[in-house]
């Protein structure tokens, strides 16, 4: 993808969308994007490749696919129609970067999500989305003067996807990361996919979309990382988890989730 094409598409995705009646406003805190570069054959068994292409990127002399683990705190999650009802919980998304063969757009495939609140049961019941319960603990201390985290730690106790995250924030904005020819393409693919797809709990294909402004990120380095789901799926070993492609963090951003999710044929 050329820098011009990436910049043009990024501009389209940043353009404000008309809000829907059921849309959700989700202020996020302690947002992290932990990305891994893996052989494409480890991901293909878990993704409907007839509909989605798994792109590869030139990283350290190898063609590798990319996936991200994305933990954060929902701090004031609310429906537009019910602005006074606000919910707070921790969440972690597990997603792979893919291309929709029907549209040619860079999108994400979700393995699923862990959620630290009772809302997980409502989402599973109403929309059959692959959300799973977890018990979270976190310690995230942001130094306003230094403009970086002094501590950034999460743990998730979950049968489906236990996890540990302990990273150190450098405070430096990211440059162009390995595998990308421009910062525009990197931003478009890693931080601004707006359409997500997943297998619903009933086995059908589902989708939903989001929108958000640019995310002001800084680079971080791993102290300790573990994601039980990725080990169970055969995507990463415990040793490989300690060596991510990149780790990016942000103290606060806001997503708009365009509801409801849709069931596809």
What secondary structure, in 3-state letters, does 232-264 show?
HCCCCCHHHHCCCCEEEEEEEEEEEEEEEEEEC
Span 72-93, pLDDT tens digits: 999 999 988 888 889 999 999 9
pLDDT at 240: 98
**What is the predicted pLDDT for the residue at 30?**
98
Judge whether residue 4 has pLDDT over 80. Answer: no
- In terms of pLDDT, which residue wins out, 15 or 217? 217
Answer yes or no: is pLDDT of 2 > 80.
no
Is the model's pLDDT at 48 over the cut of 90?
yes
Mean of per-residue pLDDT scores for the chain:
95
Give the per-residue pLDDT at 122.
Answer: 92
- What is the model's pTM? 0.96
Reply yes or no on whether the pLDDT at 6 is more than 90: no
Mean pLDDT, to the nearest integer, of 19-44? 95
Evaluate if residue 130 carries a pLDDT over 80: yes
pLDDT above 90 (res 111): yes
List pLDDT tens digits, range 192-226.
Answer: 999 999 999 999 999 999 999 999 999 999 999 99
Question: Which tens digit of pLDDT belongs to each residue from 138-189?
Answer: 999 999 999 999 999 999 999 999 999 999 999 999 999 999 999 999 999 9
Residue 1 has pLDDT above 80, yes or no: no
222-233 residue pLDDT tens: 999 999 999 999
pLDDT of residue 184: 92
**Could you tell me which of 99, 119, 59 has the C-alpha nearest to residue 193?**
99
Rounded to 5 degrees, what are φ and ψ at 123? Answer: -65, -40
Instruction: Name residues whose C-beta falls within 8 Å of residue 225's C-beta, 6 or more positions apart in sequence.
Output: 34, 164, 165, 166, 167, 241, 242, 244
Q: Is 3's pLDDT higher than 80?
A: no
Separation of alpha carbons 29 and 244, rounded Å: 22
Question: What's the pLDDT band for 118 if we cut at 50, 70, 90?
Answer: very high
The pLDDT score that the predictor gives to residue 45 is 97
- Spatial CB neighbours of 106, under 8 Å, sequence gap ≥ 6: 55, 97, 98, 99, 188, 189, 193
The pLDDT assigned to 82 comes to 83
Band (234; pLDDT cuts 50, 70, 90): very high
């Amino acid at each position: 993808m050329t820098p011009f094409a990436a910049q043009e598409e990024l501009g389209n995705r940043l353009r404000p969308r008309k809000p829907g009646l059921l849309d959700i406003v989700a202020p996020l805190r302690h947002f992290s994007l932990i990305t891994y570069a893996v052989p494409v054959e480890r991901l293909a068994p878990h993704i409907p490749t007839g509909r989605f292409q798994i792109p590869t990127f030139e990283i350290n002399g190898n063609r590798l696919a990319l996936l991200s683990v994305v933990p954060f705190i929902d701090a004031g999650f609310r429906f537009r129609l019910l602005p006074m009802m606000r919910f707070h919980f921790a969440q972690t998304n597990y997603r792979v970067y893919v291309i929709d063969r029907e549209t040619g757009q860079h999108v994400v495939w979700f393995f699923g999500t862990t959620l630290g609140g009772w809302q997980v049961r409502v989402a599973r019941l109403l929309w059959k989305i692959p959300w799973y319960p977890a018990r979270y603990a976190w310690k995230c201390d942001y130094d306003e003067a230094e403009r970086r985290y002094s501590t950034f730690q999460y743990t998730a106790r979950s049968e489906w996807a236990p996890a540990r995250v302990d990273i150190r924030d450098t405070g430096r904005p990211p440059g162009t990361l390995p595998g990308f020819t421009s910062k525009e393409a990197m931003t478009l693919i890693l931080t601004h996919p707006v359409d997500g797809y997943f297998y619903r709990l009933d086995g059908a294909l589902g989708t939903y979309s989001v929108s958000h402004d640019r995310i002001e990120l800084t680079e971080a380095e791993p102290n300790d990382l573990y994601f039980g789901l990725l080990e169970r799926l055969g995507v990463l070993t415990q040793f490989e988890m300690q060596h991510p492609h990149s780790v990016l963090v942000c103290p606060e951003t806001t997503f708009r989730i365009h509801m409801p999710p849709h069931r596809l044929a």
